[in-house]
Amino acid sequence: MKKLLVTIFCIFAFSANALEKKTTFDKDLFNKAQSEGKVVVINSWIKYCTSCASQMKALNKLKDEFKNVEYFSFEVTNRDIADFLKVQYQTTLLIFKDNKEVHRSIGVTKKDKIYEVIKSSI
């Protein structure tokens, strides 16, 4: 039984972290997207965070459902970006519209909840 639990844990941990996480946030691209009238969705992550991987997976599934939305992500240990956005925690989800922050949450990982938040921000 112990071996089975260890195996299940390892499979979950490795599969959750198998999703490629990379920083795509750039201030110039962020400003450009806002000046073009796009809704901007930003999420923060940190290496080996399973909830971060879940949030990114949900966001990746939603990218095709919303037009005129720009998506960015960044590693929360990047203090320049984290300070600029006033983000302290991983799995922070930010949404900007009309050059204003319209949503901020921490730890939301379910696709349907993220869908609702983005939909209500458009």
Query: Is pLDDT of 65 > 80?
Result: yes
Domain-wise residue ranges, the chain: 2-121
pTM above 0.85, yes or no: no
- Give the strand pairing for 100-106 and 92-97: antiparallel
Contact in structure between 90 and 45 (CB atoms under 8 Å): yes
DSSP H/E element including 113: helix 111-121
Q: For residue 82, which phi and psi values (nearest 5 degrees)?
A: -60, -45
**What's 2-121's CATH class?**
alpha beta
Residue at token pair 């991983």 = 90
pLDDT in tens, 10-63: 444 444 444 566 789 999 999 999 999 999 999 999 998 999 999 999 999 998
Beta sheet of 100-106, edge-to-edge order: 69-75, 39-45, 92-97, 100-106
